[in-house]
């Protein structure tokens, strides 16, 4: 039995479709848009139930646990913490309010759901957790500071959890996507130019990496794999990376997100 958060579209939906192909698969799909979850559940070749929830709500983790216990016998083999979002903007524009909303969804909600489900994962061991971080959790660009802060935090917590849960039979894997074309991260600026189009990848590739980092037992996967180079360069040649990322040409590397249009109302 697996729980996938953010399963209504994008990487989460592709992950549900990938996991559903495993023999004996059973899924709990989580996101806010119930219609999309129901439509996906109906199209999968395995049993799938839905929990329509805003993961930042206080009662969301408890509702998901109740669903696993009531509908799936309380067994949990895999938790995929995938739901997340980005709202671009400089710190001077967004301030602490923008940092807070990123932390609430991309970090706090992940920690709260994991805390609620860890007893089930331990009881079902060998089991796994996959945290979907980002290459932005290794390298920060202008106007992505709040998003990067939440993903840097997720990575730090993930690595600690990996070491702690080994003894309990709960594998903790992490996936770090680069530019992946989805509803939330359309990467329009990069796809418009022949020079940069090739660096944008597909949700199905991330889904495969999530499968490797969960049931496959891998600790860490960049998607596409060469993005690992960005993380290495940030450590080995920090001055060079800083110079490139603070130059004018780096502007196109901060692509707009779906969150941007809703940005003003939500802050």
Judged by CB under 6 A, the stretch of 2-10, 188-196, 209-217, 231-239 that binds ligand NAP is 2-10
Q: Is 82 in the site for ligand NAP (CB under 6 A)?
A: yes
Compute how many other C-beta atoms are within 10 angstroms of the C-beta atom of residue 216.
15
Angle at 73 between CA 13 and CA 119, to 5 degrees: 80
Token pair for 170: 């709960």
Q: Is 47 in the site for ligand NAP (CB under 6 A)?
A: no
Comparing every residue's Cβ against ligand NAP, the nearest one is 184
Applying the rule CB under 6 A, the residues between 188 and 247 that interact with ligand NAP are none
Write the Ramachandran bin of 187: left for phi over 0, alpha for psi from -120 to 50, otherwise beta. Answer: left
Q: Closer to ligand NAP at the Cβ: 85 or 253?
A: 85
> 198: which DSSP letter?
T
- Catalytic residue (choose from 147, 162, 179, 227): 147
Token pair for 245: 């990322």
Compute how many other C-beta atoms are within 10 angstroms of the C-beta atom of residue 59.
10
Q: Is 131 in the site for ligand NAP (CB under 6 A)?
A: no
Q: Is 12 in the site for ligand NAP (CB under 6 A)?
A: yes
User: 3-class SS at 5?
Assistant: strand
Minimum separation from the CB atom of position 6 to ligand NAP (A):
3
Q: Is 100 in the site for ligand NAP (CB under 6 A)?
A: no
The whole-angstrom separation of Cα 235 and Cα 139 is 9
Q: Give 29's strand partners.
A: 4, 50
The whole-angstrom separation of Cα 7 and Cα 12 is 4
Q: Is 28 in the site for ligand NAP (CB under 6 A)?
A: no
Minimum separation from the CB atom of position 111 to ligand NAP (A):
14
The yes-or-no answer on residue 147 being catalytic is yes
Q: Closer to ligand NAP at the Cβ: 51 or 121?
A: 51
Just list the catalytic residues.
147
**List of residues contacting ligand NAP (CB under 6 A):** 6-12, 31-33, 36, 54-56, 82-85, 105, 132, 134, 177, 179-180, 182-185, 258
């Amino acid at each position: 039995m697996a729980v996938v958060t953010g399963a209504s579209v994008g990487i989460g939906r592709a992950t549900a479709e990938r996991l559903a192909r495993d023999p004996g698969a059973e899924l709990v799909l989580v996101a806010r848009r119930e219609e999309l979850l129901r439509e996906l559940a109906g199209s999968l070749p395995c049993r799938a139930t839905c929990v329509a929830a805003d993961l930042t709500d206080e009662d969301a983790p408890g509702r998901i646990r109740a669903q696993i216990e009531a509908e799936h016998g309380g067994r949990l083999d895999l938790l995929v913490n995938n739901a997340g979002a980005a709202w671009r903007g400089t710190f001077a524009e967004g301030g602490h309010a923008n940092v807070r909303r990123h932390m609430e969804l991309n970090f706090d909600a992940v920690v709260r759901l994991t805390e609620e489900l860890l007893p089930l994962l331990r009881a079902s061991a060998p089991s796994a957790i996959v945290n979907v971080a980002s290459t932005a959790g290794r390298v920060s660009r202008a106007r992505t500071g709040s998003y990067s802060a939440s993903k840097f935090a997720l990575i730090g917590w993930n690595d600690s959890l990996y070491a702690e849960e080994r003894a309990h039979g709960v594998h903790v894997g992490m996936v770090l996507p680069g530019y992946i074309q989805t509803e939330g991260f359309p990467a329009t600026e990069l796809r418009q130019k022949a020079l940069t189009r090739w660096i944008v990848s597909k949700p199905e590739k991330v889904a495969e990496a999530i499968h490797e980092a969960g049931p496959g037992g891998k600790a860490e996967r960049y998607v596409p794999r060469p993005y690992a180079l960005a993380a290495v360069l940030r450590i080995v040649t920090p001055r060079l990376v800083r110079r490139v990322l603070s130059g004018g040409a780096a502007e196109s590397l901060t692509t707009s997100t779906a969150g941007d249009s809703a940005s003003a109302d939500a802050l």
